[in-house]
Amino acid sequence: MRAPSSELPIEFDGVTVTAGVVTILDDIALALVPGPPTVLIGPNGSGKSTLLRVAMGLLAPTRGRITWGGLENVPPLRRAIVFQRPAMLRRSAAANIRFALRAAGIPRAEHARRTVELLELVGLSHLADRAARRLSGGEQQRLALARALARDPVVLFLDEPTASLDPTATKAVEDIIRAVSERNIKVVMATHDLGEARRLAGDVVMLHRGRIAETGAAASFFEMPQTVEAKTFLAGELLV
Amino acid sequence: MPQDVTALQLVLSGDPALFAIVRLSLYVSLSAVVLAALIGIPLGAWIALTKFPGRQGVIVLLNALMGLPPVVVGLAVYLALSRSGPLGAFGLLFTPRAMIIAQTVLVTPIIAALTRQTIEDLWIEYRDELTAMNLGPIGRVTALIWDARFSLVTALLAGFGRAAAEVGAIIIVGGNIEGFTRTMTTAIALETSKGDLPLAVGLGLVLIAIVIAVNALAWTARRAGERLAG
Amino acid sequence: MNMLTRRLIIAATAGFVFAGHAVAQEKSIVVASTTSTQDSGLFGHILPMFKAKTGIDVKVVAQGTGQALDTARRGDADVVFVHAKLAEEKFLSEGFGVKRYPVMYNDFILIGPKGDPAGIKGSKDIVAALGAIKAKGADFISRGDKSGTNQAELNLWKVAGIDIAKDKGPWYKEIGQGMGAALNTASASNGYVLADRGTWLSFKNRGDLAIAVEGDKRLFNQYGVMLVNPEKHPSVKKDLGQQLIDWLVSSEGQKAIADYKINGEQLFYPNANDSGA
């Protein structure tokens, strides 16, 4: 059970991110609140990854502001992110998790117990001493999840975690995400796989060219999309 | 030194004078590498991770200093350590410590430059993760240095190879004093100039054997690294 | 390891490197001498005797005469022991030395190829021999390094009435290195070279070389020893240095010098009591 903390809600207020002349995010207004997973969907280049990075605190907005629990400039103590191609440290799987525990300031006495628990949660107990870089793509993704969870996060961001995985590995990762969400950890996930979005989403945020096209509870979004962009995208057509 | 003995006989019989020279060479060069590592690894890591004005120029300079001519280093250190020089009061000239200092000056740029390259490459790969974990500068540096450990060991071995093989710096600051500052390379230079080739060749064989051993160690370290940590 | 530990290690290592002079100060002195004296093996013979008697460890830095005197001028040696009387007296007049003591002499010999292109073999006249070498343009190797041997060589050209700086041709090769290197070069290129007898006797790489001219009184090579002036360089170990000098000119030291032989041949002739030397 997660006690309420200062991380949530995460509020975007007129957030714009530009790089040179290119606008990546355009005047985003959004609130990420505790509850079931929020899934970001949209075509490639719509700004999903950037939005996650801003929410994580890795990227500062060019304009506008973002607050965590009403506060600005909150260091990412209880937030965690899993990147699409996570970087594996040149150590064993267990050592990767221990590193994350240490970085998160978890007391050393707890490391052994938590490492075992996390490995079990992601199904990697049998690979604890394998060199992390020699794990398969799916196994690395699961290890990255374990590392993220080592931080005891209140909110977990995932950037297309199953994009390069086969169906078996995808299922394993999705199961973990469900388990995480059941522990009341807020999941915010970007995906371009509509099936996955349907499987996991509680709320949907659709992005198109850096702007929010439509948001809504999963059921109503998928059954009755309101906007042209959402309808086009859900119909499987190319949204330019 | 026995006169008409072949090089191999000297080496195999464990001639004490020859092995005293070998021991001194190893002591000087290993000490220099340790000091150079203590300075060069943090320096290289700092340059890799810090943005400051003139950074590119510093990197170019550091790479260029890898090719510092040993005799130039020897001359500079000699002038510094001479009784008439700024550090003369320490009385270090013509001692093994002077040789260690000279070789440290020679080897530090090598270790710093190779560390900088390795850490910078690794940082590009790890940047997102380490930033997302909210690590401070010290945490990042230690993580990167530990993960780069096998490449850094290779850099240290490269530095050792350079130190063990050079003669120009240590002959100037050491004075090639018999039984005191005479190492393999300076002894080879001396014995060759005296025309006493068996001893020079014997020392040369030992030196080459050491160089080969160091390279084998470097290769083993890389392989172990790949096997253990991927 | 954390930053504090790392800093402690750096400090400790620096301390180890720099504080050396405070630790284990066994009795030792630095003598600046020449490569030819070192190469002759004399020091290996007489210095252990000195150490056994006084417990003083003598560290010999062997360089060319010019460099040895320079090392002494900089205060990096306690005693200087070379064989170039004019340069030594200049050193004294500059105030860098306390007193010059003659110690011993050896002689130079002219080495040349057995084929003897200059036709001087067996001569006892070095001046005539040099003239012949120049006339025939026979290869001559000069050390060219401001050493005592080099200065003796240049002096002999002058005595022979030859301005070698002006009149040298491609036959005159200055290599800027020590006696061993000069002999190696002469051996490899079959040239003439002026050498001290000591280095020649220990030299193994003779090739086709042999003694061409010896015995001319002008080939005698006088050695002198001086204590570096402690008034110029207070760090000079004047008591220990003086002990070495006193021993070298004592009957015991002089006998040790005379006793040093290579293949049964005496190399150095002690003459400390020859005040004109």
Q: Which residues contact A118 (CB under 8 A, 6 or more apart)?
A: A97, A146, A149, A150
For B30, phi then psi, to 5°, come to -65, -45
Q: Residue C266: beta bridge partners?
A: C261
Q: Quote the Cα angle for A162-A166-A171, to 5°.
A: 65
pLDDT at B185 over 80: yes
Residues of chain C with confidence (pLDDT) below 70: 1-6, 8-25
CATH number assigned to the domain covering C107-219: 3.40.190.10
Q: Which tokens go with B187?
A: 């002894």
Residue of C nearest to B38 (CA): C10
Give the model's pLDDT for residue A94: 96
Compute the nearest-CA separation of C161 from chain B (Å): 32
| H or E element that contains A159 | strand A155-159
Can chain A be said to touch chain B, i.e. do they have 3 or more Cβ pairs within 8 angstroms? yes
**CA-to-CA distance for B152 and B131, rounded, in angstroms?**
23
Q: Residue A30: beta bridge partners?
A: A12
Best residue in B43, B83, B103, B145 to probe C by mutation, most C CBs within 10 Å?
Answer: B83
pLDDT digits (tens, 9 = 90+) for B39-78: 999 999 999 999 999 999 999 999 999 999 999 999 999 9
**CA-to-CA distance for A221 and B159, rounded, in angstroms?**
63
DSSP C21-60: GGS---SEEEEEEEHHHHHHTHHHHHHHHHHHHH-PEEEE
Give the model's pLDDT for residue C2: 55
Band of residue B2 on the pLDDT scale cut at 50, 70, 90: very low
Q: Which tokens go with C162?
A: 């030859």
Helix (H, G, I), strand (E, B) or coil at A147: helix
Whether B97 and C20 lie within 8 Å, measured CB to CB: yes
Residue A3 belongs to some domain of the structure: no
User: Nearest CB to A134: which of B129, B147, B230?
Assistant: B230
**CA-to-CA distance for A2 and A188, rounded, in angstroms?**
16
> Which positions in chain C touch B97 (Cβ < 8 Å)?
17, 20
Distance of CA A110 to the CA centre of its chain: 26
Mean pLDDT of A156-162: 96
Higher pLDDT, B59 or B211: B59
CATH code of B73's domain: 1.10.3720.10
User: Nearest CB to A87: which of B128, B134, B229?
Assistant: B128
Whether A58 and B147 lie within 8 Å, measured CB to CB: no
> Which positions in chain B touch C187 (Cβ < 8 Å)?
195
Q: Which tokens go with B31?
A: 């000490």
**CA-to-CA distance for A163 and A137, rounded, in angstroms?**
10
Residue B40 belongs to some domain of the structure: yes
Tell me whether strands C28-34 and C79-82 are parallel, antiparallel or unpaired.
parallel
Q: Is there a contact between A79 and A157 (Cβ–Cβ < 8 Å)?
A: yes
Cite the DSSP H helix spans in C179-249.
Answer: 179-189, 197-202, 238-249
Give the model's pLDDT for residue B225: 78
Can chain C be said to touch chain A, i.e. do they have 3 or more Cβ pairs within 8 angstroms? no
Establish how many alpha carbons lie within 13 A of residue A52's alpha carbon, considering only the half-sphere containing its beta carbon: 26
Compute the nearest-CA separation of B55 from chain C (Å): 24
User: Nearest CB to B133: which of A88, A103, A134?
Assistant: A103
**CA-to-CA distance for C97 and C88, rounded, in angstroms?**
9
Count of other CB atoms within 10 angstroms of residue C30: 27
Three-state secondary structure readout of C153-164 = HHHHHHHCCCCH
pLDDT at B143 over 70: yes
For B180, phi then psi, to 5°, come to -135, -50
pLDDT digits (tens, 9 = 90+) for A69-127: 988 888 888 999 999 889 999 999 999 999 999 999 999 999 999 999 999 999 999 99
Is B211 exposed, middle or buried (CB count within 10 Å of its CB: 0-12, 13-18, 19+)? middle
Helix (H, G, I), strand (E, B) or coil at A239: coil
Mean pLDDT of A20-28: 93
Band of residue A237 on the pLDDT scale cut at 50, 70, 90: confident
Q: How many domains does chain A have?
A: 1
Residue of B nearest to A87 (CA): B126
> Which positions in chain A touch B129 (Cβ < 8 Å)?
83, 86-87
Whether C75 and B82 lie within 8 Å, measured CB to CB: yes
Q: Does A89 touch chain B (CB under 8 A)?
A: yes
Compute the nearest-CA separation of C172 from chain B (Å): 20
Mean pLDDT of B136-155: 91
Give the model's pLDDT for residue A161: 94
DSSP B111-138: HHHHHHHHHHHHHHHHHHHHHHTT--HH
Residue A106 belongs to some domain of the structure: yes
Q: Which domain holds residue B175?
A: 7-229
Q: Which domain holds residue A102?
A: 10-234
Topology match between the domains C26-106+222-270 and C107-219: yes
Q: Does A208 touch chain B (CB under 8 A)?
A: no
Residue of C nearest to B99 (CA): C17
Band of residue B230 on the pLDDT scale cut at 50, 70, 90: low
User: Nearest CB to C205: which of B90, B94, B197?
Assistant: B197
**CA-to-CA distance for C268 and C107, rounded, in angstroms?**
8
Distance of CA B8 to the CA centre of its chain: 28
Q: Which tokens go with A211?
A: 């702007």
State the ipTM, two decimals. Answer: 0.87
**CA-to-CA distance for A133 and A140, rounded, in angstroms?**
8
Give the model's pLDDT for residue C17: 56
Whether B195 and C2 lie within 8 Å, measured CB to CB: no
**CA-to-CA distance for C95 and C233, rounded, in angstroms?**
11
Q: Is there a contact between B74 and B153 (Cβ–Cβ < 8 Å)?
A: no
Provide the strand spans (E) within chain B.
Answer: none
User: Nearest CB to C61: which of B94, B192, B193?
Assistant: B94
Helix (H, G, I), strand (E, B) or coil at B171: helix
For C176, phi then psi, to 5°, come to 65, 35
Q: How many domains does chain B have?
A: 1
Helix (H, G, I), strand (E, B) or coil at A240: coil
Whether B138 and C62 lie within 8 Å, measured CB to CB: no
Whether B225 and A90 lie within 8 Å, measured CB to CB: yes
Per-residue b or e along C48-65, where b marks 16 or more CB atoms closer than 10 Å to that residue's CB: eebeeeeebbbbbbbbbb
Compute the nearest-CA separation of A73 from chain B (Å): 13
Whether B38 and C60 lie within 8 Å, measured CB to CB: no
> Which positions in chain B touch C74 (Cβ < 8 Å)?
82-85
Whether A103 and B131 lie within 8 Å, measured CB to CB: no
Whether B95 and C20 lie within 8 Å, measured CB to CB: yes
> Which positions in chain C touch B41 (Cβ < 8 Å)?
none
Residue B1 belongs to some domain of the structure: no
Domain extents in chain C: 26-106+222-270, 107-219
Residue A76 belongs to some domain of the structure: yes
Q: Quote the Cα angle for B96-B98-B100, to 5°.
A: 70
CATH code of A112's domain: 3.40.50.300
Among the four given CATH numbers 3.40.190.10, 3.40.50.970, 3.40.50.300, 3.20.20.140, the one describing domain C26-106+222-270: 3.40.190.10
User: Nearest CB to B195: which of C61, C73, C204?
Assistant: C204
Residue B2 belongs to some domain of the structure: no
pTM for this structure?
0.81
pLDDT at A156 over 90: yes
Best residue in B188, B194, B196, B201 to probe C by mutation, most C CBs within 10 Å?
Answer: B194
**CA-to-CA distance for C50 and C182, rounded, in angstroms?**
31
Q: Does C61 touch chain B (CB under 8 A)?
A: yes
pLDDT digits (tens, 9 = 90+) for A116-134: 999 999 999 999 999 999 9
Count of other CB atoms within 10 angstroms of residue C14: 13
Cite the DSSP H helix spans in chain C.
Answer: 3-18, 35-40, 42-54, 65-73, 85-93, 126-136, 148-159, 164-167, 179-189, 197-202, 238-249, 251-259
Residue A189 belongs to some domain of the structure: yes
Establish how many alpha carbons lie within 13 A of residue A113's alpha carbon, considering only the half-sphere containing its beta carbon: 5
Q: Quote the Cα angle for C19-C22-C25, to 5°.
A: 130
